[in-house]
Amino acid sequence: MEQFIQALLNLWPNVPRPIPLHQPYLDSAEPFMKACLDSGWVSSAGHWVNQFEQQLAQRLQVESVVAVNSGTSALHLCYLAVGAQPGCELLMPALSFVATANAAMYCGAKPHFVEVLEDNMTIDISALEVYLTHITEPRDGVCYNKITQAPIIGLVVVHAFGHAVDMARAKTCCQRFHLALIEDAAQALGSLYQGKPLGSFGDVAALSFNGNKIITTGGGGAVTARSREILEKIRHLSTTAKITDAFSIAHDAVGFNYRMPAVNAALGLAQLLNLDELLMKKRQLHDYYQQHLSAIAELTVIVEQADYRANHWLTNVILAPELQINHLSLLEQFNQANIFVRPLWRPLHQLPMYHAMPRMPLLITESLSRRVLSLPSSPQLLDQLLV
């Protein structure tokens, strides 16, 4: 056991401590930030937000996007756009950041938790289809939960750590059970499925640019949608449903103050232009980990599958079930060495506010939550390792 722990601690020779989990890469940001501040347009008006949206849309290969102030706001708008309202249910993995479920509750909808795959922590679509066959029935083109009698209106696919859900199977599943397809692509900027960017497959999709993501706007997110009409509705709601009129201030719906400020957009734009470099560094860092950990039988590095290309936002390792070690104790040893390794989120169905929500059996989710560790994955770390 001591050899196993020491092998992990030796992954970062001569790297100065502390080693953070994920640092933003801000080398080229200063000129953009200064130009934004000098312009005086620092709120959501002006060309900086528009420019960021245009560059992001081009990257995602979609017609347009709406930039907002957080990934959680993006999810909230996505759920509203597909008709989430009190009394309905949204299918989603229990292995996700809490915002995936919180945003459903903002709409009055209930999260309905589903199982994930052992090898990449994304939704097990095959198991989900079997489950839905048993617990749902169609009524007038709407999928109903036979147990709760609530309509199930959508499937939220979370591309965990930049690893793609099987989107071909997910689309087929949604068509079969009359579900909207929502992509939680908060962790997936730069990842591809069958050569196409994640965030471009769903009826709607949400991205995040939080401080620890592939690129950051400090805090921020974005929404894409298959329909221009839906996206314009989202844009309208994100700007407090303000009616454009030169001589009055009026609103025609209960909207939200969710737009991204220009300062944040300028920060994001600087990094977006360097995205390919960041992705290359993160891929090389992942390869370094895989190479140096391949001989350790007690763990597995999570790798991409044949039909997708991951952004490797965070490199994760799965401890073998037979390894008799408390992962929290292991985390404590890392942190005492000033190496900031992270556990998975506590499964959402184990949180007190979600304990009573509907769910399928979640044995793999619960097992992974005790066995997965995220390793330091800053793009700058690669340069320090290769010195």
User: DSSP labels for 101-127?
Assistant: HHHHHHTT-EEEEE-B-TTT-SB-HHH
Give DSSP secondary structure letters for 253-312: S---B-BPPHHHHHHHHHHHTTHHHHHHHHHHHHHHHHHHHTT-TTEEE----TTEE---
Judged against a pLDDT cut of 70, whether residue 2 lies above it is answered with no
Q: Give the pairing type, strands 204-208 and 221-225.
A: antiparallel
Please check whether residues 144 and 261 belong to one and the same domain.
yes
Please check whether residues 165 and 256 belong to one and the same domain.
yes
pLDDT of 1 reads 54
pLDDT tens, 243-263? 877 778 888 899 999 999 999
pLDDT of 323 reads 74
Cβ-contact 348, 96 below 8 angstroms: yes
Please check whether residues 40 and 13 belong to one and the same domain.
no
Q: Domain tally for the chain? A: 2
pLDDT tens, 325-336? 777 888 888 989
Q: Which of 272, 304, 320 is the last residue of a domain?
A: 272
Please check whether residues 222 and 323 belong to one and the same domain.
no
Please check whether residues 267 and 306 belong to one and the same domain.
no
Could you tell me the CATH number of the domain that includes residue 173? 3.40.640.10
Q: Which domain holds residue 16?
A: 2-25+275-385
> pLDDT band at residue 27, thresholds of 50, 70 and 90?
confident
Judged against a pLDDT cut of 70, whether residue 167 lies above it is answered with yes
Average pLDDT over residues 7-25: 89
For helices 262-272 and 275-293, angle between their N-to-C axes, nearest 10 degrees: 60
pLDDT of 106 reads 98
Please check whether residues 209 and 190 belong to one and the same domain.
yes
| Of 87, 101, 124, residue with least CA distance to 184 | 101
Could you tell me the CATH number of the domain that includes residue 374? 3.90.1150.10
Please check whether residues 242 and 191 belong to one and the same domain.
yes
pLDDT of 189 reads 98
Please check whether residues 221 and 309 belong to one and the same domain.
no
Predicted model pTM: 0.95
Please check whether residues 95 and 219 belong to one and the same domain.
yes
Bridge partners for 113 per DSSP: 92, 359
Question: What integer best gives the mean pLDDT of the chain?
Answer: 93
Least confident of 107-121, 158-172, 319-333: 319-333
The helix/strand/coil state of 372 is: strand
211 vs 325, more confident? 211
Q: Which of 225, 247, 272 is the last residue of a domain?
A: 272
Judged against a pLDDT cut of 80, whether residue 4 lies above it is answered with no
Please check whether residues 90 and 224 belong to one and the same domain.
yes
* One-letter identity of residue 301: V
Please check whether residues 219 and 90 belong to one and the same domain.
yes
pLDDT of 330 reads 85
> pLDDT band at residue 348, thresholds of 50, 70 and 90?
very high
Please check whether residues 221 and 235 belong to one and the same domain.
yes
